[in-house]
Structure 1
């Protein structure tokens, strides 16, 4: 099971995106778990779970450098595209996360 977790300010606005991404994964029988959290919980979550992809909400993209510096050596980190996020295009966001995981694995 791959874990694709989304992080934003309070974890509220990304929870809908994570839910929709989970629906897409389930529909295609992909072994992926999508959940959303506040970025304030990222260190605790990463102590408890190995993540396969870290997605940052566009409203907190200012955190990318810090999160990528801390966790990017072991896990791909990316900012969700603002247009995809605004349209709640879970299919596109999930596809981009899968591509990022594949590229990371082949590094």
Structure 2
């Protein structure tokens, strides 16, 4: 599965990506996880199975949903999980969304 995290610039999200990659490996998940700044993400949306938005750009969820046209889930990472870099909870949410 390919997970794309989007944020403003990609700084704090890159740390979260590292934590999520470690957690995914520990779970034996076959996951490719990358972070992209919002201005670049739209050019790569068709490469992802799910798009996760940092809470600071949650306002853009509608734009992403329109761009993917229902083909893939778009979700905003809850502020508390993002702030705590709670990779296990975020991956649980991804698994629930992808069924």
Q: Normalized against structure 2, the TM-score is what?
A: 0.94
Q: 5+ unaligned residues in a row in structure 1: which ranges?
A: 103-107
1:11 offset after TM fit, Å? Answer: 1.4
How far apart are the structure 1 equivalents of 2:21 and 2:67? 26
Runs of 4+ in 1 over 2 A off after TM superposition: none
How many correspondences in the alignment? 99
Q: Normalized against structure 1, the TM-score is what?
A: 0.87
Q: Which residue of 2 aligns with 1:16?
A: 15
1:7 aligns with 2:31: no
How far apart are the structure 2 equivalents of 1:6 and 1:25? 15
1:32 aligns with 2:31: yes
1:72 offset after TM fit, Å? Answer: 4.6
Q: Does the 8 A contact of 1:56 with 1:79 survive in 2?
A: yes
1:53 aligns with 2:50: yes
Cα RMSD for the two superposed structures: 1.1
Q: 5+ unaligned residues in a row in structure 2: which ranges?
A: none
